[in-house]
Amino acid sequence: MDVVRRIHNDRSDLDEDTDPILEDSYKVGYEGPKKVPETRRCKYVIEPLIFLVFSAASSKPAIVAQFVQSSLQKNLTDNLTNNNDDQTEAAQFLLLVNVFHSIPTLITITLLGPWSDMIGRKPVMYIGLIGLILDTLIAVLIVVFDGNIYYLYVSKAISGCCGGVKGFLFGSFSYIADRSPIGDRAVRIVVAEGIMILISAIVSVCIGFWIDASGFVLPFTSILSIYVISLLYLIFVPESLIPPPQVNRLRVLIRFSHFRDSFKIFLIQGRKGILIKICCAAFFLNLLAFSGKLNVLFLYVMRPPLNWDPIDIGIYAAVSTIIIIGFRRRNVK
């Protein structure tokens, strides 16, 4: 009776509009998602998956930027007299590509974050990988059949609606947090981030030589193959959270309260509220400043007076990544 009375009191404190969605979740005997304890055999099972996915994702911006530049040049009758127009059109195109990807991603992650807390991490990673596969598949078809590059808007929108690589990484790091002891959690996450940065440096150099030697078909198809292999690998990864049978996964996903709760932090008063607002403003301003920065930078170095080729771009990206590793290592110490 004490358990029933306590559950009844907790339920009365909830808003009426949130009760119907998880109505079954507050019945007697309901238990939340259970974390699966980590074993030695499965301790580092997610890190290889992060390695695979990020090796493909980190190489794609440079490939897309150079492919867009090359495709737009084919549509101009005189590349010398129209070079500035070509660069402007390519920059505007890549900016819109980022917009078509970023806005759906923000909305999707707002939904998938609380959803993964209820039903597990693997569904979020599945959705992110499927979006990346569809995005890359459309790019491959454009390259192979010399299609219209404006279909990249569609591919990026699809990837954004699935969370993209950000959604996948969200699920991956949440997976690490679920299965790691509190004392090892920070180290595991830092190691995973270090792997991502190191991969980015290595892949940047390889992609430059690859594009210069074979064009765009092989790099795009290789990225697609890596995503497919990653999806197959994920099938054998054990789940870190086991959802209770009472939870309706679809109804939990479409809860409006996910959006409402995300903005509740801005209503916090006092010093804590001010710090939260400052941190959020810094995060979004940083995201706005650096979103699409690499694409525009690649376009700039490809034009006079630099006239960099894919190899030069790859070396530059690798060196800049190594510098970032140095700063991050210093901060970690």
Tokens standing for residue 189: 């996450």
Query: Which amino acid makes up residue 77?
Result: T
Angle between helices 310-332 and 293-301 (to 10 degrees): 140
Residue 315 falls within a domain, yes or no?
yes
> How much is the pLDDT for 29?
43
198: CATH: 1.20.1250.20
How far the first Cα of the chain sits from its last, in Å, is: 53
Q: How far apart are CA 197 and CA 325, in angstroms?
A: 7
> How much is the pLDDT for 315?
77
Residue 167 falls within a domain, yes or no?
yes
Residue 20 falls within a domain, yes or no?
no
Phi–psi pair at 34, nearest 5 degrees = -100, 130
Phi–psi pair at 162, nearest 5 degrees = -95, 0
Residue 29 falls within a domain, yes or no?
no
> How much is the pLDDT for 4?
39
Domain that holds residue 262: 41-238+248-332
- The number of folded domains in the chain is 1
**Residue ranges in the chain whose pLDDT is less than 50:** 1-30, 78, 81
Residue 76 falls within a domain, yes or no?
yes
Cβ-count burial of 139 within 10 angstroms (0-12 exposed, 13-18 middle, 19+ buried)?
Answer: buried
Q: How far apart are CA 187 and CA 332, in angstroms?
A: 10
The length of the chain, given as a count of residues: 333
Q: Tell me which H or E stretch contains 241.
A: strand 241-242
